Chains A and B, each alone.
Chain A
Amino acid sequence: MPMRKIFFILVFFTAGLLVRAQNKPLDAATINKVKSGVADCAARTITIFSDFTQEKEMSILNDKIITSGKFYFKKEKQLRWEYIHPFSYVITINGDEITIRNDGKISSFNSQSNRIFSEVNKIIIGSVRGTLLDDDTFRASYSQSNGNFIVKLTPLSPRLKESLQEIIIHFNKKDFTVDRLEMIEQGGDFTKINFTDKRINEPISDEKFILR
């Protein structure tokens, strides 16, 4: 057999193994285990504080835009995203009320009046609280990698489909918290948000979710 042929067979075999290793589909029993694990985690989580790194990858441009900051969550529906690098920007979400601090200027609006924020808000709160897995506006498929259960959500509503192709949530296998959130856009660009140094149920003051 010519060397070149052997090389290609090896490449395809290795690639096949890698794809399988990265993405093993789950059986019904494990899917139930993931669902109940996420629900239990959501039930006992009062607060989350973590660092995050966000990478937007633009498929055709071969470039990444990397931002990072701090993430805060407090039950039921309080969120604070604090972008620190490469710019300063804070967004707090208190129920449906969204407040932004950008360049020292504070503005507030209702999430229902802004479609993008409304959807992002729903996705992030839904991931943290585990409610997104039972949301009938998405079709869910489950798989696993070494350290994560991976839930791929495909939007079913035509409105969300216009902008989002898929949302992928990586749940930590040990504690069922969210390690990574990926949003894949219709154009093929995607954004990964990695949560690191997570601190669960440490006290966070309500003041943290109010911008003045």
Chain B
Amino acid sequence: MRSLFFASIILIVILGCVSVKPKDLRQTAESSNPIYSFHFEKALFRASMEVKKNELTGLVFIKKMPDSTYRIVFSNEFGMTYFDLEIHEDSFQVIYCFEPMNKKMLLNILEIDFRLLIGNNSTSKGKWYLQELTNHQVYHVKDKKFNTWNTFSTNCDTLLSQTASSNIFNQTIINYLAYRDSFPSKIHIQNPFINLDLKLTLLSK
């Protein structure tokens, strides 16, 4: 009984610490689907990825293919590929992954991260909220797999962040920063439970 009590306390603390839901939300009457504020056919980023205290740096290239799938290639400065992923609307393919990174859990998380980033997430109908402290508009959408919170600027023309979770061990936080010509020049992706931290700086698109 006592161990159950402690387990519950620990679970409550963990859930409290890592909740991806933005704070101070009030539901609004807005009913339209959000228009994501940036789109791209291809983009090249300088990348720095930390996974469990290992740091990898290099370039991330993202390209939309003619069949609307996305290819994401991360290579080091010398051109050697760490991973090459393909995201379809309803499937995911690992074209290549450098052996030490070829772990199912990591690849699942990368799929979620990049799916959010390319805007290929849920098409389910969501609800709008106003974040009272900041006046940001927040769009929450929940489908079979994920709970996703998309935070937009006050006038709803700029996507500021996305947080998504499927369970407490699978959570993603993406911040879109330093917009230039309607495109974020810095993108910061975090997955707290595996200590994954990916920073992207736009080089060209």
* A-to-B contact residues, CB < 8 Å: 54, 56, 58, 60-61, 63, 65, 67, 81, 83, 86-87, 89, 91, 100, 102-103, 107, 115-116, 120, 162-163, 183, 185-187, 189-191
- Give Cα distance in the complex from A21 to B30, angstroms: 68
Please tell me if the beta carbons of A63 and B55 are within 8 angstroms of each other in the complex: no
Q: Are A116 and B55 in contact (CB under 8 A)?
A: no
Cα(A58)–Cα(B72), bound, Å: 11
B58 to chain A, nearest CB (A): 9
**B46 and A183 within 8 A (CB):** no
Q: How far is the CA of A120 from the CA of B79 in the complex (A)?
A: 10
Other-chain contact of A58, B48, B61, B76 (Cβ < 8 Å)? B61
Q: Summarize B's interface: helix, strand, loop or mixed.
A: strand
On chain B, the residues within 8 Å of A56 by CB distance are: 59, 75, 79
Q: Could you say which of A87, A89, A162, A187 contacts B99, with CB atoms under 8 Å apart?
A: A162
Cα distance, A98 to B2, chains bound together (Å): 52
Q: Can you name the residue of chain A whose Cβ is closest to the Cβ of B102?
A: A162
Give the residues in chain B near A162, CB-CB below 8 Å.
99
- Chain B 96-110, CB-CB to A under 8 Å as 1, else 0, gives 101110000000000
* In the complex, B194 has a CB within 8 A of chain A: no
Contact of B80 among A65, A102, A120 (CB under 8 A): A120
The residue in chain B whose Cβ has the minimal distance to the Cβ of A159 is B99
Shortest B79–chain A CB gap in Å is: 3
Query: Which has the most chain A C-beta neighbours within 10 Å: B55, B63, B78, B100?
Result: B78
Tell me which residues across on chain B come within 8 A of A120, comparing CB atoms: 78, 80
The reply to whether A187 and B63 form a contact with Cβ atoms under 8 Å apart is no
A60 touches B57 (CB 8 A): no
A87 in contact with B203 (CB, 8 Å) = yes
Question: Mask for B72-104, Cβ within 8 A of A = 1, else 0?
Answer: 010111111100100000000001101110000
| Contact of B100 (CB < 8 Å), options: A58, A115, A185 | A115
CB distance from B86 to the nearest CB of A (A): 9
Which residue of chain B has the shortest Cβ distance to A85 in the bound complex? B203
Interface pair A91/B96, CB less than 8 Å apart: no
A62 CB, min distance to chain B CBs, angstroms: 9
- Smallest distance from the beta carbon of A20 to chain B beta carbons, Å? 29
Q: Is the CB of B71 within 8 A of A116?
A: no
B residues 29-73 touching A (CB-CB < 8 Å): 42, 44, 46, 48, 55, 57, 59, 61, 63, 71, 73
Rounded to whole angstroms, the CA-CA distance of A53 and B50 in the bound complex is: 28
**Please, how many angstroms separate the alpha-carbon atoms of A185 and B80 in the complex?**
7
Nearest A residue (CB) for B63: A61
A63 with B203, Cβ < 8 A, contacts A83-B77, A116-B76 known: no
Rounded to whole angstroms, the CA-CA distance of A133 and B59 in the bound complex is 31
Q: In the complex, which of the residues B46, B61, B81 contacts A87, with contact meaning CB atoms closer than 8 Å?
A: B46
Q: Is the CB of B61 within 8 A of A65?
A: yes
Q: Smallest distance from the beta carbon of B83 to chain A beta carbons, Å?
A: 10
Q: Closest CB of chain A to B76's CB: distance in Å?
A: 6
Q: Tell me the minimal C-beta distance from A166 to chain B in angstroms.
A: 13
Known contacts: A63-B42, A116-B80. The answer to whether A185 contacts B96 by CB under 8 A is yes
